[in-house]
Structure 1
C-alpha cells in the first residue's frame, strides 16, 4: 500500500493489487460458469465437466492467465469453446448413427446338433480333439497337422480314426449298416 497526499484533500490510500490467485478465481466464478454452461448444454454433468476442464487448463498456465486483464473471461472462453466442441462431436456422432441400419441382422444361435458336437468334442483327449478340429473345421491337410503337432502322419490318421469313433459313440451316429457316418 502506498499513501498519496493531495493538496487540499484528505489523504488517499492507493492500493496495488496483485493478480488474483487461482483459488480465489475458482471459488468466486466456478458456480456462475457452471450455471451458464448448464443453460447451454441442458446437462448439469456436462456443464461441470466443461468448466472443470477449463479451470484445469487455466491452472496449468496460471502464471500467464493471471496476468490478463480478466482471467475469468479467458476461462469462460475456454469453457465455451470446449462446450461447442463437445456439441459438434455429439452432432457428428448422431449424424453417423442416423445413417446406420435401424435393425441389426439377427442370426440364430447354435442348433442342438452344434451344441451336442461341441460337447462331444470336449470329451475327446486333447490330441484327438485338436486333430479333429484342425482337419475337419480348419480344413488343414494331414501333413500340415502332423508338422504342427510334431508327429508322423500315421499318428494323425490314428487320432482322427479314434476321434471319429469316439464322436460316433458319443453322438450315437451309427447307421443300420454298422458303420459310422
Structure 2
C-alpha cells in the first residue's frame, strides 16, 4: 500500500501540469505529434522517478529537465527532419494569439540552433534561471547566457527580415 500515495501525487502533478508539459514539448519539437509523444514520455519518466521529482527544489524545473534530456536523446537517435508549417496551423497557441504572431515566432525559433532554441524556451516560456537551464542543457551558466544572447539576436534578425519564407537556413 505504500505505492498509493506516490501514485496519487504523481498523477496529481501530471494532471495539474499536463497543458504546460504539452506546450513546452511543442516549443521544443515544433510538431504537434512529436510534442504529444514527448509529453507522454516525460509523464512516464516523472512517474518512474517521482521521489526525485518531489525532492527537487522546483518540481516543474525538474520536469522540464527530464523533457529536455528526452528531447536531446530523441534528436541524437534520429536527426530532425523538416515539418511543413501548414501542418501546424491547427495548434493550440494559434487559438490564443494571432496565427501570424505564432507562425513568426515558430519560424524564428526554427532558424536557431537546437541549443539556442531550448535555452530561449526554457528562459522565456518557463522562466528558469541560468543555473537550471545549464543543468537541463548539460553546460555552464555562462554558456547559457551566450546561447540566449546569440539566440535573441538571431531571432530579432529573423523576425525583422520580411523576406523570410519559413525554411530553416
**TM-score, normalization: structure 1?**
0.36
Larger radius of gyration: 1
| Structure of higher RCO (CA pairs closer than 8 Å, 6+ residues apart) | 2
Higher helix share: 2
**TM-score, normalization: structure 2?**
0.39
